[in-house]
Chain A
Amino acid sequence: DIQMTQSPSTLSASVGDTVTITCRASQNINRWLAWYQQKPGKAPKVVIYKASTLQIGVPSRFSASGSGTEFTLTINSLQPDDFASYYCQQYNSYPITFGQGTRLETK
């Protein structure tokens, strides 16, 4: 199975900050990576797919990059609505696997 490792597990930031979350795959997943945002008690919502493609309707302050085994999600100029948990997920091969999550909290 492909292991997905996110860092950090928790990130404290303020409105207006720029933050970056890293996701590492235990083996090459090419660009088959998605990022999901999840708020407490809610379903996840896709933010990025194919490593760097912004899902329709997601603000342009979200961006992502990477390929192979190293990926990043960056949120520029944090807004109050962005404080949530973020998960990376590889869909290169089965079993589909998620990172353990990064909780983005208000400093």
Chain B
Amino acid sequence: QVHLVESGGGVVQPGGSLRLSCVVSGFNFNEYAMRWVRQAPGKGLEWVAFIRHDSSHVYYTASVRGRFTLSRDNSNNTLYLEMTRLTADDTGVYYCSKCDFGEFGFYYYMDFWGKGTSVTVSS
């Protein structure tokens, strides 16, 4: 069974930092791309970042580029999202998601999601 468990969320002051983790099990982590998606309170879904299975390609949404760093440790089945210079707009639930195998090495949808970890940026 596929499991994704996020952790590392919490309350942080504006300008602060957090490191989210996502520990996975039930599949060969080193074969799959991964994404983070967030959801502000009462709002819709927003894609945050993507990393290929081998870390060869990493993409970010414009609002976090330069502030967030996505990485993975395939030997420990763990995905990381390092978040710095946090603002109130970064508040929300952050979901780690597994991508499917993809087509043509580029077109991936998200077939499994974790339960999310909550991030609140507030003074």
Contacts and interface: CB of A to CB of B under 8 A. Distances in A.
B47 interface: yes
Contacts of A62: none
A75 B106 CA distance: 29
A34 B72 CA distance: 25
B100 interface: yes
B9 interface: no
Interface in B63-81: none
Contacts of A100: 44
Interface in A6-31: none
Contacts, number: 54
Contacts of B111: 46, 49, 55
A24 B76 CA distance: 40
B110 A34 contact: yes
Nearest to B100: A49
B115 interface: yes
Interface residues of A, number: 24
Max chain A Cβ within 10 angstroms of own Cβ: one of B62, B113, B114, B116: B113
A89 B113 CA distance: 15
A89 B47 CA distance: 10
A39 to B, nearest CB: 12
A97 B47 contact: yes
Given A38-B45, A49-B109, A91-B108, 14 more contacts: A34-B110, A36-B110, A43-B95, A44-B110, A45-B113, A46-B109, A46-B110, A49-B100, A50-B103, A92-B107, A94-B50, A95-B61, A98-B45, A98-B47
23 contacts: A36-B45, A38-B45, A42-B115, A43-B114, A43-B116, A44-B95, A44-B110, A44-B113, A45-B113, A46-B110, A46-B111, A49-B111, A87-B45, A89-B47, A91-B108, A95-B47, A96-B47, A96-B50, A98-B46, A99-B44, A100-B44, A101-B44, A101-B45
